[in-house]
Structure 1
């Protein structure tokens, strides 16, 4: 199926320097979008944008911390001044801190929520204000299957992703009358730097596939980790014309790991 409605559209993608965000930026650029690639890591972002351009895509990098609402407002204004009206927003920026609740420092809890939930709020609000006037647009938030399944030592991450997912559905309800669609993609274990850092140097991705009864965690029924592109292609579908009657939906891309109904 050829996806339409992406070509020549300005797409703002947060967390675009690596992992799922970088894959989303590449997939949308490959479909003809003009990508505003956003991340707080300037060096990695420069590398990602250079790669997109070398592959024939149209992309420009913007360094910002999504936790800073004033900086986000200025960023959105700058993107629209330089590239044109934003028609697609993908919230892919995220951080992960693991640890048992009774041992988790305040700083890690606060950062997890300020990026994974607060950042989604800041960017979505800034972009939605402009989409409303145009009465069109598509928003996708990359959450996690952990938002719906309890995970040992992942309370902060799971709770923040649950918050961002529910926020996005509420946003979709409020914006539906303006023709703006808001959806969620919930990946499971995906082969990204975030997953590798969680596993550590001695970690084996096969342990994730097999599951861990001691941690009350089932494995992945499809017997493989997701690739970032698997998630990116789900995002591309949801922002395309082919998903024109889909809003407030949460699409799990986890190989069946959540046994999601």
Structure 2
């Protein structure tokens, strides 16, 4: 009984932005717990390579190359997945971008790009998948927030705004869709060693600040996000809804 609570056997998960980094780690983690996974991204070659890695490891994996900022493409490919691969039981909205600049000099086109990808992308994918989940009376949606859903730091104010929006979009999705049997939650990672953060990882001054600022005293490893994802994707979280789970080494708990 205890093990079955966290089993994802027989379930299909779609993970956006999963060609590398956190998205790929989460897709692999769900696969390790029994799920079939659909990896998504805009780069067909990268997604194909990621799918091959999972298949070579013995997991069931499929590719999807829609752009989360294109609602028509999202809707069409979600319909294709449902028709050709299977019913989507789990959606992880992970696709996201970052751009750093002082707020007074922040390029308007980058502001638009951040919101279009980080917020509208989660809305588009969530809406497209939820329509199918609602007819079945069940489903799990996991949005990827950040410690910037709660905190701010210089030069990333627009990114912070997008991740704050994700926290409240998660609540809004819960308010609308929980009555249909869906659970919608978010994972808010702290600072993890990823391709997106490589410049910060390689900056000794920033790494020293991070280690001092984080109670755990270190960067996170992407594998440490898998447990939270499996919990929120499984029956173990059947009465958890609208919640944002911070996985941050204690950063948001300490001043």
Q: Which TM-score applies when normalising by structure 2?
A: 0.94
Conserved? CA contact 1:39–1:63, under 8 Å:
yes
2:71 aligns with 69
What 5-or-longer segments of structure 2 have no aligned partner? none
Deviations 1:50-87 (A, max 9, x none): 11111111000111110000000011001111211111
Q: Cα gap change, 1:108/1:203 in structure 2, threshold over 3 Å: closer, same or farther?
A: farther
Correspondence for 2:181 among 152, 166, 179? 179
Is 1:140–1:184's contact at 8 Å kept on the other side of the alignment? yes
DSSP 3-state at the match of 1:182: strand
1:207 alignment partner in structure 2? 208
Out of 224, 240, 244, the residue aligned to residue 230 of structure 1 is: 224
After the TM superposition, list the runs of 4 or more consecutive aligned residues in structure 1 that deviate by more than 4 angstroms: 200-205
Offset, 1:259: 1.7
1:153-195 alpha-carbon deviations (Å, 9 max, x no partner):
1111110011122111110111111110000100010110011
Conserved 8 A contact 1:189-1:208: no
**1: CA distance, partners of 2:207 / 2:157:** 23
Q: Which whole-Å CA distance do the structure 1 matches of 2:208 and 2:21 have between them?
A: 20
Secondary structure in structure 2 of the residue aligned to 1:258: helix
Pick closer, same or farther for the CA change 1:164–1:11 going to 2, 3 Å.
Answer: same
Whether the 8 Å CA contact 1:20–1:232 is kept in 2: the answer is no
CA contact (8 A) 1:23 1:229 kept: yes
SS of the equivalent of 1:222 reads coil
Tell me the residue number matched to 2:252.
258
Task: Measure how far apart 1:201 and its partner are.
Answer: 5.4
Runs of 5+ in structure 1 lacking a partner? 212-218
Shift of 1:207: 2.4
* SS of alignment partner, residue 193 of structure 1: coil
User: Cα 1:104–1:241, aligned 2, differ >3 Å: closer, same or farther?
Assistant: same
In the other structure, the counterpart of 2:90 is 88
Give the alignment partner of residue 110 of structure 1, picking from 101, 112, 116.
Answer: 112
Match of residue 241 from structure 2: 247
- On the 8 A contact 2:44/2:65 being kept in 1, the answer is yes
Give the TM-score of the pair, scaled to structure 1. 0.92
Which residue does the alignment assign to 2:135? 133
Q: Are the aligned partners of 2:7 and 2:33 in contact in 1 as well (CA < 8 Å)?
A: no
Change (3 A) 1:98 1:237: same
Alpha-carbon distance, 1:196 to partner = 0.7
Structure 1 position 149, deviation (Å): 0.7
Distance, in Å, in 1 between the alignment partners of 2:218 and 2:197 is: 14
Question: Could you say what secondary structure the match of 1:90 adopts?
Answer: strand
Query: CA RMSD for the aligned pairs?
Result: 1.7
Q: 2:215 aligns with which of 215, 218, 221?
A: 221
